[in-house]
Amino acid sequence: MAERVRRTIPDGFPTIVTLCGSTRFREAFIDANRRETLAGRIVLSVGLYGHHEGLDMAGTDKQALDSLHLRKIDLADEVLILNVGGYIGASTQREIAYAQQAGKPIRWLEAPRPVAAPGSQDGN
């Protein structure tokens, strides 16, 4: 599907970026959407902010929204991870893995922190 869509897009079309991160960081999504739009990119983002809107973040609605967000990654040229304070939750981890598997370039709001090896004290 995404490949079919991509073939119909004319040369010179703006870059499409999908924002990924925890919806608890509503302001980060709003700010990133604004910055990316002003930079001339088409922005695909979350449709609602489940943490702020009282959505059951463990139920079927959340699962459906997560699946829909993967389709947005399919349509994107690149992904921007909104890792506020270094936070990356389980859904965002899945989105990162999905984007990597699809070969999508990934940008980060904040430089990613190194992951400590099991049993390591300092992550080095």
Please give the pLDDT value at position 63.
Answer: 86
Q: What percent of the chain has pLDDT over 70?
A: 81
The residues near 102 (Cβ < 8 Å, ≥ 6 apart) are: 73, 74
Q: Which residue has the higher pLDDT, 52 or 17?
A: 17
Please give the pLDDT value at position 9.
Answer: 77
Residue ranges of domains in the chain:
2-8+16-108
**Segment 3-26, tens digit of pLDDT:** 666 677 788 899 999 999 999 999
**pLDDT exceeds 50 at position 124:** no
> Tokens at residue 48, please?
């609602």
**Segment 70-86, tens digit of pLDDT:** 999 999 999 999 999 99
Q: What is the CATH number of domain 2-8+16-108?
A: 3.40.50.450
Map 50-113 to HEC letters. Answer: HHHHCCCCCCHHHHHHHHHHHHHHHHCCEEEEECHHHCCCHHHHHHHHHHHHCCCCEEECCCCC
Please give the pLDDT value at position 4.
Answer: 66
